[in-house]
Structure 1
Amino acid sequence: MRTKAGRSQEALGEQNNYSASLVASVELCRRAPREEFIQRCDEALHGEGLLLRIREAILKERPVGGPKVKREELRHLVAVGDRRLGHLHVAPRGVGAYAGLNGAFVIATPPEGDDLAYLDNRSPGAPS
């Protein structure tokens, strides 16, 4: 999100009264961020709560595979979120059933007309 917003670690840190080294440590998963840090960065990057939802998911999930696996998962989430043509949406814990549980889906918004959704998976009861 930071690079997509065109900000350096130093600029984001200065804007929020943190050092560039703290921003780097959090981004590299060397240091767990405090909630205040996440809130300030989310506001500065216009994340609309995305960073807070990611933090919530991380804190509440049981680690599988240890810290190294969790670090790679987080790096993958950041990479997906930085893609120009893609969007990362993290559903808050406790949201219940939603369309994304069945796998990835695409929402296309044509210039005119309603949004269209495509879900690439087998629906229950569909022939295999």
Structure 2
Amino acid sequence: MSTIRRTWLEYFAKELIAWREFRGMTQEKLATAITFSPSLVAMVETCQRTPRPEFIERCDEALQTGGALMRFYKELVSRESIPDYLDRWRGVEEQATVINTFQLEVVPGLLQTPDYARVVLQTGLPTATPEEIEAKVAARLERQAPLTSDRPPMFVAILDEGAIRRVIGGSSVMREQLMHLVKLCERPHIVVQVVRAEVGAYAGIGGPFNLATLDGDEVAYLDTTLSGHVVENPEEVAIIKHRWESLRAEALPRPASLRLIKEVADQWTP
């Protein structure tokens, strides 16, 4: 068991035990109440098994926590599975008034469905355990919260056409993901535009990047195979912003982009 997994599992196990004992229940009584085996409850409490969301939800109901265990779980996996550099960028995302992102290969993480995110993560982290992948999926979904908050940032994503045509997880996963994009774009603060393949060489071939505006300042984020880098130097940010403006000039307008995404989604109909 890795250090990261052990840390968050221990915290969760202690919280579960505290709630169970507070309600005066044994492991056996809790197991009966949630219709799981006593051995599974024991393994979760001793960090030998990673709890699934269904298990946690049933514990919340049986222990009358008001959803405390699920909230605690989401916070733990969010913190434990995000490296320091990405955690710093997450802080930027949470405070930003504008977020612009360009993706060459895949749909942006803030717009991914759970199944699509799972395949992307499994592909990029082939040695990770299923539990570690699920923790990272949960963390990625948690990062999407600002987009559906009461005061969301303006979010504009420019995608290379390859990102909506590349097969990630099969036809059903692709259709769900593309229709998810269309649904999200019903929100006035979310815009997705596509650069057609026939454009040829353009500013996007240099790779993906993100730009955010907060407190009147602009910050960029560059992602690589091994790590990420937050860019705050004004001159470097200006170069990235220039690339962004060039991309906007090459991308299809919003309505045409959505029509293309719908057309591609229809091609993925099982």
Q: TM-score range by the shorter chain?
A: 0.3 to 0.5
- Between Structure 1 and Structure 2, the one with more strand by share is 2
From the two aligned structures, give the one with the greater helix fraction. Answer: 2
Of the two structures, which has the highest relative contact order with CA contacts closer than 8 Å and spacing of 6 or more? 2
Give 1 or 2 for the bigger CA radius of gyration.
Answer: 2
